[in-house]
Amino acid sequence: MSGTRQAAIAFIRGINLGPTKKVSMPELREELAAAGFDGVRTHLNSGNVIVVSSKSPAAVGRAVHDVMADTLGVTADVVVRTADQLESAIEADPFADVATDGSRHFLGFLDGPTANGPPDDLPESDDRAELVGNHLYLWCPNGLSKSVFWKVNWDKQLSTSATLRNWNTATKVLAMAREDETR
């Protein structure tokens, strides 16, 4: 959707989780603004960036990746969704009727198509996973770190890069993006 200005959300994978891939959110906002993005905002320290741009989601992802690599010295996968795409993913939630805690409910953003789904050889549990389009939905009633999905290598399983956000984060960045579209 190039040409029309829209809010886009860049989900940056694997930054600020440990001692490597440290990215200052104020510095990232400054560098993205210098690269021509408007309304640059971040949510939390885990790589959720909202920008307003006329670029396609793929072009936004490449630009965010390049800014981080070229000016901050950090390389990381970046998956981008427009506000409309994120809203559609949230509305498609297959666990809406059972997921009662946004911190234990996850939305995974896939970088590309996949022919594979969640593993079917995991131990029996209350954890649930479902693939809908290019989104992975997880419901882990006891938390992700105690779920059967904790050790799944989702990139390998799905044959594409994936990054997860909990439901609270996904809905918050959607609200922020919608605010930006009305400014």
Mean pLDDT (the chain, rounded): 95
In this prediction, residue 20 carries a pLDDT of 87
Q: What is the mean pLDDT of residues 21-30?
A: 96
φ/ψ (deg, to 5) at 38: -100, 160
Give 1's pLDDT tier (boundaries 50, 70, 90): very low
Read off the pTM.
0.94
In this prediction, residue 19 carries a pLDDT of 87
φ/ψ (deg, to 5) at 107: -120, 120
Integer Cα distance of 170 and 96 in angstroms = 14
φ/ψ (deg, to 5) at 84: -65, -40
Q: What is the domain partition of the chain in residue ranges?
A: 6-82, 87-170
Percent of the chain with pLDDT over 70: 98
Q: What number of residues does the chain have?
A: 183
Percent of the chain with pLDDT over 90: 90
Integer Cα distance of 100 and 163 in angstroms = 22
Integer Cα distance of 121 and 144 in angstroms = 18
User: 104 vs 121, which has greater pLDDT?
Assistant: 104
For domain 6-82, give the CATH number. 3.30.70.1280
Helix residue ranges per DSSP H, the chain: 25-34, 57-67, 83-91, 154-158, 167-181
